[in-house]
A and B are shown apart, each in its own frame.
Chain A
Amino acid sequence: MRTALSVIRVVAALASVAVMAVWTPAAAADKVLPIGVLGPLSGGAAAYGLDTSRAAEMKADEINAAGGLKIGGDLYKIKLIVYDHKASAADAATAANKLLFQDKVKYIIGNTVGATCNAVQTVTEPQKVLFSFMCWGTKNLAPDKPYSFRSLLSQWEVAEPFYRWVKEKHPSIKRIAAISPNDTSGIDTNTAVVKYAKALGFEVVADEYYERGTKDFYPTLTKILALKPDLLDVAAAPAGEAGLILKQARELGFKGAKGWTAGVNPVPMISVAGKEAAEGVWTPANIDVTSEFVSPAVRKFGEAFVTRYKEVPGAIAIANYAAFDVITKAMVEAGSLDTDKVLAALTGRPHQTIWGPVVIGGKDTYGIDRQFLYPVVIAEIRDGKLVDLAQVAPIGLKK
């Protein structure tokens, strides 16, 4: 009998502890908001994916450290779920399916490489999942993809103001050669460069493509340089390959002007090209977080990023950090996690971000306002560093 009473006492004590735990206010308030992040975390494009995931990680940690997101009376801690798609469209679709149906994610903030965004959108759009990315595919934004946003200026925003600036400031330049990787991002970039350069009166003498991973550009450059371009645009080439093209063009005797319409990470590009070959490159889509020309917020972000990851972030990291900030603030403003309500809070007004004020526009280009717009800064590489030359507005931002 005594034993039975002891057991009852122990059970009662445990039950009361359990009940107290359940009724602890903090436990009741803390909910988890899963947010998906995709990107190539391995392989040749891994630098883009790591910039993407690291920026999301930094913003999520900031939010969680500040207590979380208060959305409609509930407090949410963010849980990031990151998948590597190795820049493969098939793997990206698989990862998106896992995020939606296994991890129950309603927001994917971050992805790069154009073809993978197309694949992800086939999964996210029918499920009304809000998807923000830095892919440069033209067709990633369209009226039939209302839940998709691009947080990084694309070739369509930077090519026109860049070539307009070249025409105004360097009227002796008449003949343009553009070279890009042979994929969605590269083809779209060269298409934008060719379209706007021709519209502005330039002669496009070469519209060339190469396979990603190429290291020896002598054969391609021999053909291009025989056409005597005044300006060689390494349009959508990533940093390492852009650096190699410029280095090898110099070895082959090219002394003309150099552009990098869609370059997003100048430090490794300069490192690979060498100071001499990188000297004088004009770049409208770039950012050097260590430069004195960027905003204090970007510089602070850059310092924190370097301290944490020992690598310098490119524009992709800053764009995803800004997107994470804008979208999570829109959740708080909407007071709901319903993506339609968050969408309403996101669109139709400017947002204050790490870039400064950002407008979500792009209807003239894509038929829908889903492109983050902010001023283009045209910089020149001088003695291994970026020097700002001009600030110009994309057409959409002007309007």
Chain B
Amino acid sequence: MSLSLLVQALLNGFGLAMAYVLVALGLTLIFSILEIINFAHGEFYMVGAFVAYLAFGVWGLPYVVALLAAIVCVAAAGVVAERLVFRHLRGKTLNAFIVSLGLLWVMQAAAQLVFGVQDKSVPSAFSGIVRFSGVVISVERLAVTLAAAALIVALYAFLEHTRTGRAMRATAQDADAAALLGVNIEAVSAFGFGVGCGLAGASGALLAPIFSVSPSMGELPVVKAFIIIIIGGMGSLPGAVLGGLLLGALEGVGTLFFSSAAVNLLGFLMVIAVLLLRPRGLLGGT
């Protein structure tokens, strides 16, 4: 195996890992605040992709505007979902699980009714290929990685350095104690759910020009997101980034040796290994 092939495989793996980390961060944020696992999270990713498809692909708005529109629209949809549905299920993991599965089917079917079942293409936002020493990098994928990384840094800064961010972290640590200290739990929950969904929407909008857009496109990213947060540690932002990079490297290099179907199993094997050896994840708290 040549060195350039190995480098290419690693770049392939890392290339889109950051976009999946965004999905994972949204999922883990919602879990931290509301103690529910939102199985419909992939559908918010799908909605973000369709907003980008409409804004950028159909109406011809600038890509950055389409990306911002996707984040805002999906975040708003998340707030509505929290207000109408998930607020009443805080801490009721099983109930929330079943309701989120129902929401998943409703959102997929609604997208199917509105947009049809055939894949929709979104024009490339950034064209061009960078080649060096036998390695190929698409400018578009590079842009997605940088944009996703920027959003992760922005999220980190928001959670660490703003009053609302600190309120969200306090609620995640102990909602009752946070409420006693004057944190408006209901507002924080709605806002946190919106931010979590907005991250998924951002990921969908970032990947829409690279992939195609379809009602069922959220199924795979949400599985990857679960793998990432289990490996990295539920609730840990650096853990999600580490989990995403590890999964990307495993999938990228693993494909050189195994069929892509078998490589999907490697991710789950890694999850089993982490759960057995370090159940809280690589960087998860106690």
Q: Is the CB of A211 within 8 A of B119?
A: no
Of A215, A252, A253, which one neighbours B207 at CB under 8 angstroms?
A215
Q: Contact check, B216 vs A210: say whether CB atoms are below 8 A apart.
A: no
Q: Which of A42, A209, A210, A220 contacts B109 (CB 8 A)?
A: A42
| B259 x A222 contact (CB < 8 A) | no
- Measured CA separation A271–B120 after assembly (Å): 7
A268 to B261, Cβ gap below 8 A? no
Residues of the B chain whose Cβ atoms lie less than 8 Å from the Cβ of A208: 259-260
**Which residues does chain A contribute within 8 Å of B259, judged by CB atoms?**
182, 208-210
Determine whether the beta carbon of A216 is less than 8 Å from that of B116.
no
Q: B8 touching A272 by the CB < 8 A rule?
A: no
Which residue of the partner chain, among B8, B129, B217, contacts A251 with CB atoms under 8 Å?
B129
Q: Judge if B15 is at the interface, Cβ distance under 8 Å.
A: yes
B136 at the interface (CB under 8 A from A): yes
Once the chains are docked, how many angstroms separate the CA of A306 from the CA of B215? 20
Asked, given contacts A208-B259, A218-B15, whether A251 binds B220 with beta carbons under 8 Å apart, the answer is no
CB of B220 within 8 A of CB of A213, answer: yes
Task: Determine which of A42, A47, A244, A252 lies in contact with B108 in the assembled complex, contact meaning CB atoms within 8 Å.
Answer: A42
Given contacts A47-B117, A182-B259, A271-B119, contact A251 B212 (CB under 8 A): no
Task: Tell yes or no: B48 within 8 A of A by CB.
Answer: no
Q: Is B9 an interface residue (CB 8 A)?
A: yes
Find the residue from B8, B15, B260 having the highest chain A CB count within 10 A.
B260
Question: Nearest chain B CB to A278's CB is how many angstroms away?
Answer: 11
Query: Chain B residues with Cβ under 8 A from A265's Cβ?
Result: 118
Q: Are B5 and A268 in contact (CB under 8 A)?
A: no
Interface magnitude class on chain A = 35 or more
**Nearest A-chain residue to B223, judged by Cβ:** A213
Asked if B251 lies at the interface with its beta carbon under 8 angstroms from chain A, I say yes
* Contact of B35 with A by CB under 8 A: no
Contact of B260 among A42, A211, A244, A311 (CB under 8 A): A211
Cβ-defined contact, A222 with B8, below 8 A = yes
Contact surface of B with A, Cβ cutoff 8 Å? 5, 8-9, 12-13, 15-16, 105, 108-109, 112, 116-121, 129, 131, 136, 138, 207, 210-212, 214-217, 219-220, 251-252, 254-256, 259-261, 263-264
Task: Enumerate the 10 nearest inter-chain pairs by beta-carbon distance, A residue then B residue, closest first.
Answer: A240-B119, A219-B255, A182-B261, A215-B211, A218-B12, A46-B117, A268-B118, A272-B212, A210-B260, A47-B117
